[in-house]
């Protein structure tokens, strides 16, 4: 019973953690170029809506997913134009994008749909032999194609940033854009590319929420996950593997909230600790856990950074690049 319960929680944790992983990896690439995008929440909201609209129109989950990715690229282009071409404040531009994305998605969705339309969801695709491994088999090796894609993107993003010429150029414009420019690397082009990749990942994260987690569209479907994904990048100190770990820790917290762990703690009902455990395991109270964890993570990272015990952000993060003579 305990093993089955834990396996179920782990499987749900993967499902809930995948949107955070996708959005976090995208923001990692964006920030490595020196650009911060606080519009992840809005992009995810648009992706969640577009994926359902296109899936219902075409009858294809794959087409709906791709449409959400394209929508993520399109809306992130707004942030690129404002923050890269027009040199606007990246924080203000990102917050504006979140307000625009969430607001427009809610408006269009409520106007377009009558209620919360349901769609088919991506089915789990068990991997032979590996899916039969006790505990972790059903959690890791019996998931949807999007979950597997998110797993695969972790080493892919690492290789892209640290081993490919294009990835190294993106990181160079995030560290020292003037030097990168002096050797012929287009700072604007690399930053645009990074922002658009980040938007594509966030759009995919929104599609996963609608087409795997929920199976329907509802207003505010991103539910703060964009902000958590942003915090994960800082927690991970701009490293893909740590984003993977952080995403599934948050996913496990959400899994416990959804699964309702209080019933499993009733064995402590006759103990003095029961009143406290009952309160801490109440689903309404547990709803605060992801956000409390985000605050704790940002606080710890801030303290470590002051003590110079952790890796720092890209040197040119948040700094618009203005060429001499422009």
Confidence of residue 306 (pLDDT cuts 50, 70, 90): low
Q: What is the mean pLDDT of the chain?
A: 84
pLDDT at 129: 78
Confidence of residue 274 (pLDDT cuts 50, 70, 90): low
Confidence of residue 324 (pLDDT cuts 50, 70, 90): low
Count of other CB atoms within 10 angstroms of residue 156: 13
User: 26 burial class (0-12, 13-18, 19+ CB within 10 angstroms)?
Assistant: buried
Count of other CB atoms within 10 angstroms of residue 163: 9
Least confident of 31-40, 212-221, 289-298: 289-298
pLDDT at 213 over 70: yes
Contacts of 1 (CB under 8 A, 6+ apart): none
Asked if 205 and 22 count as a contact pair (C-beta separation under 8 A), the reply is yes
- Looking at per-residue pLDDT, the higher value among 1 and 103 belongs to 103
pLDDT at 49: 93
Confidence of residue 194 (pLDDT cuts 50, 70, 90): very high
Among positive and negative, which fits the CA dihedral 247, 215, 224, 49?
positive
Confidence of residue 197 (pLDDT cuts 50, 70, 90): very high
Contacts of 143 (CB under 8 A, 6+ apart): 11, 14, 15, 124, 125
Confidence of residue 281 (pLDDT cuts 50, 70, 90): low
Rounded CA gap, 190 and 83, in Å? Answer: 13
Strands (E) in 131-281, as ranges, are 142-143
Please state the φ and ψ torsions of residue 143, each to the nearest 5 degrees.
-130, 180
Confidence of residue 222 (pLDDT cuts 50, 70, 90): confident
Asked if 144 and 85 count as a contact pair (C-beta separation under 8 A), the reply is no
What would the pLDDT profile of 19-75 be if each residue is shown by its tens digit? 999 999 999 999 999 999 999 999 999 999 999 999 999 989 999 999 999 999 999
What would the pLDDT profile of 154-171 be if each residue is shown by its tens digit? 999 999 999 999 999 999
pLDDT at 303: 67
The DSSP secondary structure of 100-138, one letter per residue, reads: HHHHHHHHHHHHH-SS--B---PPPEEPTTGGGSTTHHH
Q: What share of the chain has pLDDT > 90, as a percent?
A: 48
Identify how many contiguous H helices and E strands the chain contains and give both numbers. Answer: 14, 2
- Looking at per-residue pLDDT, the higher value among 120 and 308 belongs to 120
Count of other CB atoms within 10 angstroms of residue 302: 12
Rounded CA gap, 320 and 199, in Å? Answer: 19
Rounded CA gap, 72 and 232, in Å? Answer: 20
Asked if 6 and 38 count as a contact pair (C-beta separation under 8 A), the reply is no
- Looking at per-residue pLDDT, the higher value among 5 and 24 belongs to 24
Rounded CA gap, 209 and 52, in Å? Answer: 10
């Amino acid at each position: 019973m305990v093993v089955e319960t834990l396996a179920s929680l782990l499987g749900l944790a993967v499902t809930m953690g995948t949107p955070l992983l996708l959005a976090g990896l995208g923001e990692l690439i964006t920030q490595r170029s020196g650009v911060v995008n606080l519009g992840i929440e809005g992009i995810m909201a648009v992706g969640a809506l577009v994926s359902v609209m296109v899936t219902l129109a075409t009858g294809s989950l794959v087409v709906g997913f791709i449409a959400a990715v394209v929508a993520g690229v399109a809306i992130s282009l707004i942030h690129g134009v404002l923050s890269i071409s027009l040199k606007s404040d990246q924080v203000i531009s990102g917050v504006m994008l979140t307000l625009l994305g969430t607001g427009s998605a809610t408006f269009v969705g409520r106007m377009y749909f009558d209620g919360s339309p349901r769609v088919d969801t991506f089915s789990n695709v068990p991997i032979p032999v590996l899916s039969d491994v006790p505990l972790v088999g059903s959690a890791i090796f019996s998931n949807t194609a999007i979950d597997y894609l998110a797993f695969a993107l972790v080493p892919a993003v690492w290789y892209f940033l640290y081993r490919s010429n294009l990835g190294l150029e993106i990181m160079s414009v995030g560290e020292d854009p003037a030097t990168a420019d002096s050797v012929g690397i287009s700072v604007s082009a690399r930053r645009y590319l990074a922002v658009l990749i980040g938007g594509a990942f966030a759009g995919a994260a929104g599609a996963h929420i609608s087409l795997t987690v929920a199976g329907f569209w509802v207003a505010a479907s991103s539910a703060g996950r964009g902000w958590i994904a942003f915090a994960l990048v800082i927690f991970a100190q701009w490293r893909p593997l740590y984003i993977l770990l952080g995403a599934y820790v948050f996913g496990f917290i959400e899994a416990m909230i959804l699964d309702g762990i209080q019933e499993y703690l009733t064995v402590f009902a006759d103990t003095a600790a029961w009143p406290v455990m009952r309160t801490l395991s109440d689903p309404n109270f547990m709803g605060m856990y992801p956000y409390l964890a985000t605050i704790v993570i940002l606080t710890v990272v801030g303290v470590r950074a002051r003590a110079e015990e952790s890796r720092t952000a890209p040197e040119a993060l948040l700094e618009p690049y203005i060429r001499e003579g422009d």
